[in-house]
Structure 1
C-alpha cells in the first residue's frame, strides 16, 4: 500500500543522502523513480540533488506553480513509476502537499518527501506544516548540536558568523549561513534564555 512519507530534520542530518540512497535502491531493482528538488535551491547545481558527502543525481525542478499530480500522472502514463522522491520539501505549498497525497491515494505511488521542519526563527515552513499534518508516516532524521545533544533547530548566520534574528523566511545557504542546535542552545543564541 502506497504512503506519503515525510523525513524531516534540521540541516546536516543526511536528508539528501538518504533520498539518493532510496532512489538507488529502487533503480537497482529496475524500478522507475521521479526525483524533484526546489528550483530556488541553487547551492550546488540547478536541477540536481546533491549530498554534502559528494553524491548527486539529476532531478526535476519544482516551483510554487508546479502541479505534481498532473506532472506525475503524465509521466506515469508513459513509464510506470514506482516511487516519487522530493528534496527540499519545506518549499512545497499546501496545495502541492495535497497533490502529492493524491498521487498516493489515486495512483498508488509512494511519495517520499525530505525537508527541514522549522526555519531560523523556530517557525514551521508551509510544506513542512502540511506534511506533518497529512503524511501517513513521519520519520525524524537526527543530527547533533555542538554540545552533543540532538539538534532540533537552526540559526541563521551573517557573513561575520553572528546570529541573525530577523529577515525573510527563505534564504538559501549551507554551513556558512546556518548552524544546527538543540533547543536550549537555539534559545540562548536567539537571546530567549
Structure 2
C-alpha cells in the first residue's frame, strides 16, 4: 500500500535537501518521479526546488487551485510514477492534502511531503494541519537553535534582527528574515536577544 509521508521541521533543517536526495535515489534506479513546489515561493527561481547546500531540480508548480490528483494521474498514465515529492507542503490547501491521500490510496503512488509545521506565531499552516491529520507516516527533521537545543520554532526577524510577532502568516524569506529557534527562545524575546 502506498503511503502519505509528512516530513516536517523548522526552517533550515534540510527539508529540501532530503527531498532532493530521495528524488535522486528513485531516479538513480531508473524510476520516474514527479516533483512539486509552491508557486508562491520563487526565491530560487520559478519551478525550482533548491537547497542551501547547492542541490536543485526542476519542479511543477502548485497554487491554491491546482488539482494535484488530476495532474499526477495524467502523468502516471503517460508512464508509471514511482513517487510524488512535494516541497513547501505547508502551503497546500485542505483539498490538496486530501488529493495527495487519494493519490496514495487510489493510484498506489507514495507521496513524500516536506514542509514547515508552524509559522512565526506558532500557528499551524493549513497544509501542515491536514498532513498531520492524514499522513500515514510523520517524521520530524531536526534543526538546532543557536543555544544548542532542538529548534522547533520559526522566528521572523525585522531588518534590525529583532523578533517580529505580528503580520501576515506567509512572508517568503530565508536566513535574512527567519531563524529556527528552540521553544524557550521563541517564548521569550529577552532570552533570544541574550542568546
Q: Deviations over 1:126-155 (max 9, x none)?
A: 000000010000000001011100001011
Gaps of 5+ in 1: none
Corresponding residue for 1:47? 47
Alignment of 1:1-193 (within 5 A): 1-189=1-189
- The alpha-carbon deviation at position 190 of structure 1 amounts to 8.3
Is residue 151–residue 180 contact of structure 1 (8 Å, CA) maintained in 2? yes
Equivalent residue pairs, number: 191
Rounded Cα–Cα distance in structure 1 between residues aligned with 2:148 and 2:163: 20
SS of match in other structure, 2:144: coil
User: How far apart, in 1, do the equivalents of 2:5 and 2:80 lie?
Assistant: 20
User: Secondary structure at the residue paired with 2:188?
Assistant: helix
**Structure 1 outlier segments of 4+, above 2 Å:** none
2:132 and 2:187 mapped to 1: Cα distance?
23
Contact 1:5 1:136 in 2 (8 A): yes
Give the structure-1-normalised TM-score.
0.97
Q: Is the 8 A contact 1:84 1:112 kept in 2?
A: yes
Deviation of the 1:189 alpha carbon = 2.1
5+ residue gaps, structure 2, are none
Q: TM-score, normalized by length of structure 2?
A: 0.96
CA contact (8 A) 1:165 1:190 kept: no
Distance of 1:78 and 1:189 partners within structure 2: 53
